[in-house]
């Protein structure tokens, strides 16, 4: 199952405003500025157009531009809701995110699936022992 990332106004304006800064060096004729801004803008737009989450067999495959992460669903301990501006490691395009705690230590990742309830329902169907915090209980009965 593939889930696209939710996009909200704050991240949309931030990404597109930053990416539009790349045209400034054309008017000012500053090549150094162009070579500094071009990779940043490319990275932001790559993340904008290619952020999704795929549930494949027993793992979540996260893709956000050039960043990739795989999480074994059996290792997920807790999923909690967040909408904080302060983030740790977010691979989502919205402030309405979920934090996935996994592994033995303090490993976590923040994502923002567009169909959050369906995503959580699919993950908890594979691992019903996941603790849900700040979310409606979408576990199948």
Could you tell me the residue ranges of all domains in the chain?
2-133
Confidence (pLDDT) at 138: 52
Q: What are the backbone angles phi and psi of residue 122, rounded to the nearest 5°? A: -65, -40
Q: Model pTM?
A: 0.83
Burial profile 83-116: b = 16 or more Cβ within 10 angstroms, e = fewer? eeeeeeebbbbbbebbbbbbeeeeebbbbbbbeb
When the pLDDT of each residue in the chain is averaged and rounded to a whole number, the result is 88
Task: Report the SS3 class of residue 103.
Answer: coil
Residue keyed to tokens 């301990």: 77
Which CATH entry fits the domain spanning 2-133: 3.30.160, 2.30.29, 3.30.40, 1.10.10? 2.30.29
**17-50 pLDDT per residue, tens:** 888 877 777 777 777 877 888 888 889 899 999 9
pLDDT above 60: residue 137: no
């Amino acid at each position: 199952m593939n889930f696209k990332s939710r996009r909200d106004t704050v991240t949309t304006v931030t990404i597109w405003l930053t990416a539009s800064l790349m045209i400034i060096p054309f008017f000012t004729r500053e090549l150094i500025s162009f070579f500094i801004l071009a990779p940043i803008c490319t990275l932001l737009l790559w993340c904008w157009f290619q952020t999704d989450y795929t549930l494949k067999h027993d793992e979540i495959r996260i893709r956000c531009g050039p960043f990739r992460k795989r999480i074994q669903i059996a290792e997920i301990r807790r999923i909690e809701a967040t909408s904080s501006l302060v983030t740790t490691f977010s691979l989502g395009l919205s402030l309405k995110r979920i934090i996935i705690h996994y592994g033995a230590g303090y490993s976590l990742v923040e994502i923002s699936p567009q169909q959050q309830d369906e995503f959580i329902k699919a993950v908890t169907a594979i691992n019903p022992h996941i603790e849900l915090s700040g979310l409606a209980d979408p576990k199948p009965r």
